[in-house]
Amino acid sequence: MSTIKGISQTEVAYDGSSLRVAIVHARWNRVIIDALVSGAVAKLKERGVKESNIVIQSVPGSFELPFACQKVIAGSHVQAGANVTDLLGGLNIGSNSPNPASRSGTPAPVPVVAIPSGPFDAVIAIGVLIKGSTMHFEYICESVSHALMRVQLDTGVPVIFGVLTVLNDQQALERAGLGEGGNKGHNHGEDWGLAAVEMASQTRRWGEGKFV
Helix, strand, or coil (residue 187) = strand
When computed from its CA atoms, the radius of gyration of the chain, rounded to whole angstroms, is: 21
3-state secondary structure 97-152: CCCHHHHCCCCCCCCCCCCCCCCCCEEEEEEEEECCCCCHHHHHHHHHHHHHHHHH
Closest CB to ligand DLZ among residues 46, 169:
169
Alpha helices in the chain (DSSP H): 30-46, 65-90, 100-103, 136-155, 169-174, 188-207
From the centroid of its chain, how far is CA 100?
Answer: 43
Give the residue with the Cβ less far from ligand DLZ, 71 or 204: 71
Q: From the CB of 160, what's the least distance to ligand DLZ, in Å?
A: 16
Q: Which is nearer to ligand DLZ, 23 or 200 (CB)?
A: 23
Please indicate whether residue 136 is annotated as part of the active site.
yes
Closest separation in Å from C-beta 131 to ligand DLZ: 8
Residue facing ligand DLZ at closest CB distance: 61
Determine contact, residues 46/198, Cβ cutoff 8 Å: no
Closer residue to ligand DLZ (CB): 140 or 195: 140
Q: Which is nearer to ligand DLZ, 33 or 49 (CB)?
A: 33
As a whole number of angstroms, the distance between CA 45 and CA 184 comes to 23
Provide, rounded to whole angstroms, the least separation between the CB of residue 71 and ligand DLZ.
15
The torsion angles phi and psi of 124, rounded to 5 degrees, stand at: -110, 120
Instruction: Name the catalytic one among 77, 136, 146, 186.
Output: 136
Strand, coil or helix: 6: coil
**Minimal distance in Å, beta carbon 186 to ligand DLZ?**
20
Q: Give me the residues that bind ligand DLZ (CB under 6 A), please.
A: 26, 28-29, 60-64, 127-130, 132, 136, 140
Say how far residue 144 (Cα) sits from the centre of its chain.
16
Distance of closest approach, residue 65 Cβ to ligand DLZ, in angstroms: 8
Active-site residue list: 136
